[in-house]
Structure 1
Amino acid sequence: MKKIYKNYWLICLVFLGFLSCNNDDGEVLFAESPAERIAGQNSELLNLLTSEQNGYKGTYFTKNDEFGGFTFYMKFNADGSVDMTSDFDSDTAIESSSYDVRYGTTNELVFTTRNHIQKVSDPQLPGLVGTGFKGTSVFQYFGSQDGKLTFKDIRNRDSASFVLEPSQLTDFETESVAKVETTLAEREKLLTTPERSVFQLLRIENSNGDSDFNLNYNPDLLFAKPRITFDDGSVTEFSFGILFEENGLVINPTLEFEGESYTYFSYDADSGSYISTVNGTTATILFGNEPAFIDKDIDDIVELGPTGFLYRPGLGSNPLTSLGFDALLEEISDNFAAFPLGEWLVNDVQFTIDYESDNCDTYLYIQLLRVADGATFTAFYCFEKAVINDRKLFLTYSGPSGGNAPFFEPLVMPLIDFFSSSEGLIYSAEGGFSSTLFSFSNTAGTFTSVENPSLRVYGLWFG
């Protein structure tokens, strides 16, 4: 055994001697000390940052599995200051702060005093209290290619990206602010309006046909979860963050579907949609007339028997009630004012289904408030027996039910027309009732007009 050990050590000594002899006339691996190399790398990054007289355009996705991205314009100065603006919010004025280039685990760009970049880590943002967008102000430098500087977010290495590229501006002070104000305004094109449908879709067209997904876009998070659920219970779902460009948007991560990849979508003003064309295929983000898939939720209403659906503004608001429906109620108030009867408001709407009655099988109850004295007036309007066809609810209006109803009928006709939509109503169950003021265990849901899909009302069911 001792002989084996002696032979082992002898071999090692010979090997080390060989390396030593080999390196006598060899090349030195590192001509600089570690400290000198680090200083050189820092200097290289600093020179790149300050070399652009009109700064850089930065795109930052803080966490592409939860949030969208933001655009920044940054001009790095040799005195350690950086001038910056962004499309994070409406406060787009250029702010000056400090930055540093240093060595941590690798070369790092650090924004050391508060500026627009710190907004992404603000834990007090409405709807994101405690987390914010989970961003940072410390970035690890990963290299430069074709003028683009690539960094990694130290908090979210696998889901974040921060890229700086030359701004191509001629006047940083004026053009940078104009740019971010344009991209900030671009977000409005993906929001519903009183005229736009409430159904946002992702549609992919290729040789296999059209595939529609409900977009499920959250404008607060700038994040979408396109999804479709089939009758057999199977689900196809994607998710990506959205960053708005001057005339389009970028999604991250890239959407992969049937062998093609979609990243950049251009805005098409004629159709009001965002379109990405790749190898003869097309992915479109649009407002559709119907959802990608209509659930069987309407069948559950039949099982409830005689039941009522209640919409009452006094219970608080919910974003599922569309801007179009709000405008419909304002139209009714305008009708009263033009009559002229002064200022009146729709105070209560009850839509009651009774599948067992032959007389006024389904009726609409409307309570109106006369603002001048606070007096309330009610009216009932009858519909024939409800019909469910192709997962849609069809109601045929049969007339007023006495009392104030005949007098009010022409004034409240927009609401009657909504419930008697010739193309039916789409119902969606939405769990327990929740609003800005209350939360109840009552089942809640929405009705949307197929004839005019900008009209959707959210309310609760009562027995």
Structure 2
Amino acid sequence: MKIKNIYKYLFAAILILHLSACNNNTDAEQLFNQTPTERLNAQKSELSEALLASQFGWKAVYFTDNTVLGGYTHLFKFAQDGTVEMASDFDADTDVYKSEYEIQLGSTVSLTFTTKNRIHLLSESDNYPIPALRAKGYLGDFQFLYYGQENGEIIFKANRNGTEIRFVKATADDWANLSKNLVMEQNVIGSDERPLFRLLETTDGTTTHKFDFAFSEVTRFAESNSIESGYSISYNMGVGYTPTGIVVSPAVEVGGQKLTNFVYNDADGSFTATGTGGVKATIKYSNKPLILTDDYKNFLDAKPQMVLGYIAANLYTAPTTSTLAKSLIDEVNATLPANQKISRVQIYFNSPYGNYVEYRFSGGKPSLYHNFTTSADDTNKTILFTHDSWDNGAAYIPAPAFLKKLDDEFFNPSGLYIKKEAFKITYSNTIYTITSSTSNFRITTYQL
């Protein structure tokens, strides 16, 4: 190649690089030709236009912290005059309330709800669902930092803890059906007509796994752990309600697919999230515990003395005390004078005086004792109480009629499951649950 041709090509290449650099510089200039204030004002206008653009406003399922709490649906209808209409499913009050909002400028653009409304219920420090959240409330916020838009959704992060909140366009049905979320809540809690035991079952199309499932209504949070030896997967998730089911966060991941929306089936009380290729996850009922323990054997004859005590002040509200157990205790209390209530139900095994259930009362009423013998159903892993006698500590007495319905649950001829639990309630005492093998009766006790 001749020298002059080489120079010709080199000159062309340099010219192309120069023009490219000019273009890049132009792009950079366009990107940075605004001052920070101008860029923030542009974002402010962008957010303001977006908030006003949806005919029926916006919907957000706000998971304030999905490691301990569930999701709370909020509906917003913004107006140009700085007011917002808002409704939520935080509690039974799903009415619409008006308050004020501002799009504020700071280091970034934020949407701030400046006067009190439903969203503030999640940020009040003196309003907390469990003792662990004392002085923290529901970990929510009322100032949302603007992070742009994606697929028609407005993306925010809470100023308090950086939790992402996504606004999706609401519909007329979202407003009309918000109260149905609270109807669905009762389906998640579970009817007394349903079994006490639940499981989460997942399948990737070929392999099925089972997990226990425990739901706390006060926190809208569920814990689910594998029941299979050597398979240590757990799914702990916040739960939000919808008119047709639930939404969970974090997602239940099965076969590489993330499942978040579970649809309710009223026929069997199940909730199912369906993916593709046979992938699905189902929360459903079981007529017996997923794992039958041998814990009942520790209470049979010839074992050391054991005392299990239900203490009303601490254990009436325990998540593991069933609605049926509470209703039977309430029925007993309703028959007594106002100052007398069941304060404890203590069950003594292998004491110097034998086996007996002590019904202890407040208000000076003497305890009553139901004496029994024990036997075991090793196939179903239950313990059976067989009636011996009743006494008041001084003499034998007839069976007290006002205790019959509650007492009959302990003397179920099909037996009781006794399970040592891993959790604690208020004190460091070991927790045991006593559960009927045929009804929805379950009472929570301390080992004393």
Rounded Cα–Cα distance in structure 1 between residues aligned with 2:203 and 2:21: 64
Rounded Cα–Cα distance in structure 2 between residues aligned with 1:368 and 1:24: 86
2:135 paired with 1:130: yes
The share of aligned pairs that are identical, in percent, is: 25
Name the amino acid aligned to 2:66: N
2:143 paired with 1:141: no
Please identify, of 269-278 and 144-153, the stretch whose mean Cα deviation from structure 2 is larger.
Answer: 144-153
TM-score (norm 1): 0.76
State the match for 2:357 in structure 1.
365
Q: Give the match's secondary structure for 1:123.
A: coil
2:82 paired with 1:80: yes
Question: For 2:223, which of 225, 240, 249 is the aligned residue?
Answer: 225
Question: For 1:261, which of 252, 258, 261 is the aligned residue?
Answer: 258
Rounded Cα–Cα distance in structure 2 between residues aligned with 1:266 and 1:183: 13
Rounded Cα–Cα distance in structure 2 between residues aligned with 1:54 and 1:125: 30
* 1:330 to partner: Cα distance: 5.3
State the match for 2:275 in structure 1.
278
Give the 3 Å change call, closer, same or farther, for CA 354–276 of structure 1 in structure 2.
same
Q: Give the match's secondary structure for 1:291.
A: coil
Give the 3 Å change call, closer, same or farther, for CA 316–81 of structure 1 in structure 2.
same
Give the 3 Å change call, closer, same or farther, for CA 229–274 of structure 1 in structure 2.
closer
Question: For 2:247, which of 239, 247, 250 is the aligned residue?
Answer: 250
* 1:218 to partner: Cα distance: 2.3
State the match for 1:450 in structure 2.
437
Counting only pairs closer than 5 Å after superposition, residues 332-411 of structure 1 correspond to structure 2 as 349-354=345-350, 363-365=355-357, 367=359, 376=366, 378-383=368-373, 385-387=374-376, 389=378, 392-395=381-384, 397=386, 399-400=388-389, 407-408=398-399
Please give the per-residue CA displacement for 1:293-327, whole angstroms capped at 9, x wherever unaligned: 34443344469513333345477634233221233
Q: Give the match's secondary structure for 1:263.
A: strand
Q: Give the match's secondary structure for 2:177.
A: helix
* 1:255 to partner: Cα distance: 0.7
* 1:448 to partner: Cα distance: 0.5
Give the 3 Å change call, closer, same or farther, for CA 196–46 of structure 1 in structure 2.
same
Name the amino acid aligned to 2:350: D
Give the 3 Å change call, closer, same or farther, for CA 300–166 of structure 1 in structure 2.
same
Q: Give the match's secondary structure for 1:239.
A: strand
Q: Give the match's secondary structure for 1:292.
A: coil
Q: Give the match's secondary structure for 2:325.
A: helix
| Paired residues of 2:349 and 2:355 also in contact (CA < 8 A) | yes
Name the amino acid aligned to 1:354: N
Give the 3 Å change call, closer, same or farther, for CA 80–344 of structure 1 in structure 2.
closer
Please identify, of 25-34 and 181-190, the stretch whose mean Cα deviation from structure 2 is larger.
Answer: 25-34
| Paired residues of 2:296 and 2:383 also in contact (CA < 8 A) | no
Name the amino acid aligned to 1:291: P
Please give the per-residue CA displacement for 1:3-30, whole angstroms capped at 9, x wherever unaligned: xxxxxxxxxxxx9xx9699649984631
| Paired residues of 1:125 and 1:132 also in contact (CA < 8 A) | yes
Q: Give the match's secondary structure for 1:40.
A: helix
* 1:432 to partner: Cα distance: 9.4
* 1:250 to partner: Cα distance: 0.7
Q: Give the match's secondary structure for 2:172.
A: coil
Rounded Cα–Cα distance in structure 2 between residues aligned with 1:108 and 1:375: 61
State the match for 1:121 in structure 2.
123
Rounded Cα–Cα distance in structure 2 between residues aligned with 1:264 and 1:117: 23
Rounded Cα–Cα distance in structure 2 between residues aligned with 1:377 and 1:258: 57
Rounded Cα–Cα distance in structure 2 between residues aligned with 1:21 and 1:407: 101
Question: For 1:90, which of 58, 83, 92 is the aligned residue?
Answer: 92
Name the amino acid aligned to 2:157: K
Rounded Cα–Cα distance in structure 1 between residues aligned with 2:403 and 2:326: 14
State the match for 1:8 in structure 2.
none
Rounded Cα–Cα distance in structure 2 between residues aligned with 1:153 and 1:271: 38
State the match for 1:43 in structure 2.
45
Q: Give the match's secondary structure for 2:42.
A: helix
Q: Give the match's secondary structure for 1:276.
A: strand
Count of residue pairs brought into register by the alignment: 423
Rounded Cα–Cα distance in structure 2 between residues aligned with 1:433 and 1:165: 40
TM-score (norm 2): 0.78
Unaligned ranges ≥5, structure 2: 1-13
| Paired residues of 1:120 and 1:136 also in contact (CA < 8 A) | yes
Please give the per-residue CA displacement for 1:171-207, whole angstroms capped at 9, x wherever unaligned: xxxx73x433222332222224544433332222455
* 1:256 to partner: Cα distance: 0.8
Give the 3 Å change call, closer, same or farther, for CA 345–253 of structure 1 in structure 2.
closer
State the match for 1:7 in structure 2.
none
* 1:109 to partner: Cα distance: 2.3
* 1:434 to partner: Cα distance: 5.0
Rounded Cα–Cα distance in structure 2 between residues aligned with 1:315 and 1:221: 18
| Paired residues of 2:155 and 2:167 also in contact (CA < 8 A) | yes
| Paired residues of 1:378 and 1:405 also in contact (CA < 8 A) | no
| Paired residues of 1:59 and 1:72 also in contact (CA < 8 A) | yes
| Paired residues of 2:293 and 2:381 also in contact (CA < 8 A) | no
2:416 paired with 1:425: yes
State the match for 1:33 in structure 2.
34
* 1:227 to partner: Cα distance: 1.0
Name the amino acid aligned to 2:432: G
Name the amino acid aligned to 1:223: F
2:222 paired with 1:190: no
Counting only pairs closer than 5 Å after superposition, residues 179-218 of structure 1 correspond to structure 2 as 179-205=177-203, 207-208=205-206, 210-218=208-216
| Paired residues of 2:315 and 2:444 also in contact (CA < 8 A) | no
| Paired residues of 1:346 and 1:366 also in contact (CA < 8 A) | no
Rounded Cα–Cα distance in structure 1 between residues aligned with 2:232 and 2:20: 67
Please give the per-residue CA displacement for 1:220-252, whole angstroms capped at 9, x wherever unaligned: 2222221135567x6331222111111111111
Please identify, of 185-194 and 160-169, the stretch whose mean Cα deviation from structure 2 is larger.
Answer: 185-194
* 1:445 to partner: Cα distance: 1.7
* 1:106 to partner: Cα distance: 4.1
Rounded Cα–Cα distance in structure 2 between residues aligned with 1:442 and 1:61: 32
Please give the per-residue CA displacement for 1:42-92, whole angstroms capped at 9, x wherever unaligned: 212211111234321222222222321111111111122222121122343
Counting only pairs closer than 5 Å after superposition, residues 60-71 of structure 1 correspond to structure 2 as 60-71=62-73
Rounded Cα–Cα distance in structure 2 between residues aligned with 1:156 and 1:370: 46
State the match for 2:305 in structure 1.
306
Name the amino acid aligned to 1:447: I
Q: Give the match's secondary structure for 1:65.
A: coil
